Structure 1
Amino acid sequence: MKVLVFSAKDFEIPYLEQANNKKHKLTFVKYALSSETAMKAAGYNAISIFSADEACLITIEKLKDFGVKYITLRSVGYDNVSLRTASRLNIRVANVPAYSPYAIAEHAVSLLLTLNRKIITSNQRIKKFNFDINHLVGFDLNNKTIGIIGTGKIGSVMTKIMHGFGCRLLGYDIEENNELVTKYNMRYTTLESLCKNADIISLHVPLNTETHQLINEDLIYQMKRGVIIINTARGSVINTEDVIKGLKNRRIGALGIDVYENEKGVFFNDYSYNIPDDDLLITLNAMPNVLITGHHAFLTEEALTNIAETTIYNLDCWASKKETENELTEVD
């Protein structure tokens, strides 16, 4: 199968090539898929896209005109793909449903620990041979209450890790996981009650109409003062303006994010010599109690291996006229 890989990153190409083992003809391009770049897919049977690519209605219609029959995502989330349009045009779409929940959950814990124990500030002092430890006070995670919003694969791993720290666990999800209740003493509750009682809130939900800007001013007002919020899910799960307001009035004690609602076109690129014209991002980046990483929670050897292998597996299935269990439909 002839495949055009959009948004190809240097770090992932070796993994994809190894998984492919010359079965398919892969062409790697660094630019993202959009309605403007869709024409580059002319002559290809399939394309592979990442979370920053845009497979909207117009783009998919163009892909259809150019002969593309398959779209395989190198990600779990697929909110950047119009499945309705793909279904209507008989373009099959598949994702990587679980490349490594451990990578994401462990990164979320890293953000939490770094913020709580003032690791970056401490290290910056040491680099200047300043060994003063004033204003570096954190708190024990043991016996603290952590609210986990979204208890799927990643949220379940987060639950297990935080249980190991001795935390009290509150969960919120449309579907309860009885195993988490039994093994880790998680208590499912309402979203409002979780926010009222949690010292730490970690977000692990997909982006959809119900979760879009879920963390907003109304919900923030119900949170325990000084709460730490961690978001490794999707940027638009939080309302950035409202969160900044919460940070300024100190209702939110700290914020750790690997995702940002306006990250498209910014993350995965070097803007060190041309700062993005984004006041919200600039404000967040200037705050000492905010830690931002550039959507790299997934970046582990294990995750990259699984992403590559599943991506090639999806292509193998289609090339053999078989169905892949990772296929996405409009009802998903």
Structure 2
Amino acid sequence: MKAVAYNIKEFEKELLAIANRKIHDLTLISNELNFNTLHYAVGKEVVIVSADDVLEAKLLEQLKQVGVQKIVTRSLTTDHIDLYRAHELNIQIANTPYIDRSPKGIAEQTIRNLNLWEKGKCVGLACCCVKECGVLKSKNDETTEHRFDQ
């Protein structure tokens, strides 16, 4: 998948590269995602953000216009993303909810989400979409094979 990661700290670069294993076409940007940096997302399927990137309705609309279909936040919370507007725009949202909250663990979870999406699979516990897709989420379910029905 083609993805751009915003708000990347120096220590995250190598961790994401190692977790990615040259599978996905990743662009790593140290700037936050906003209207001035939106151009980095042109032609990307996925945007990877931090909790510091605020994705309100207008920014989500612009992301959709440039081709973004999915968003991964490298955080547990999603209160910085307008999930309802994302749902209306048919943008899938995932977070990094698993126990390993180390920078390495977050990088691995981020790439895991990309891997599952690329295979057309649901991201399980990481799914933050407001749409009911019928996937039962449990704390032990890290490898769900369910498909996200759109």
Which of residues 118, 121, 136 is equivalent to 1:322?
A: 121
CA contact (8 A) 1:39 1:63 kept: no
Deviation at 1:94, TM superposition (A): 0.1
Aligned partners of 1:29, 1:78: CA distance in 2, in Å? Answer: 20
- Tell me how large the CA RMSD over aligned residues is: 1.6
Partner SS for 1:12: helix
Identical amino acids, percent of aligned pairs:
33
Partner SS for 2:47: strand
Counterpart mapping for 1:76-225 below 5 A:
76-100=76-100
Which residue number corresponds to residue 308 of structure 1? 107
CA contact (8 A) 1:39 1:62 kept: no
Deviation at 1:41, TM superposition (A): 0.6
Point out the structure with the larger helix share. 1
Which residue number corresponds to residue 53 of structure 1? 53
Partner SS for 2:4: strand
Deviation at 1:54, TM superposition (A): 1.4
Deviation at 1:99, TM superposition (A): 4.4
Q: Deviations over 1:167-188 (max 9, x none)?
A: xxxxxxxxxxxxxxxxxxxxxx
Amino acid at match of 2:104: T
**Which of structures 1 and 2 has the larger relative contact order (alpha carbons within 8 angstroms, sep 6+)?**
2
Normalised by the size of structure 2, how large is the TM-score?
0.82
Which residue number corresponds to residue 189 of structure 1? none
Deviation at 1:97, TM superposition (A): 1.0
Aligned partners of 2:27, 2:94: CA distance in 1, in Å? Answer: 19
Which residue number corresponds to residue 9 of structure 1? 9
CA contact (8 A) 2:96 2:110 kept: yes
Which residue number corresponds to residue 24 of structure 2? 24
Deviation at 1:314, TM superposition (A): 0.4
CA contact (8 A) 2:3 2:45 kept: yes
Deviation at 1:331, TM superposition (A): 7.0
Gap regions ≥5 residues in structure 1? 102-302
Normalised by the size of structure 1, how large is the TM-score?
0.38
Aligned partners of 1:55, 1:318: CA distance in 2, in Å? Answer: 21
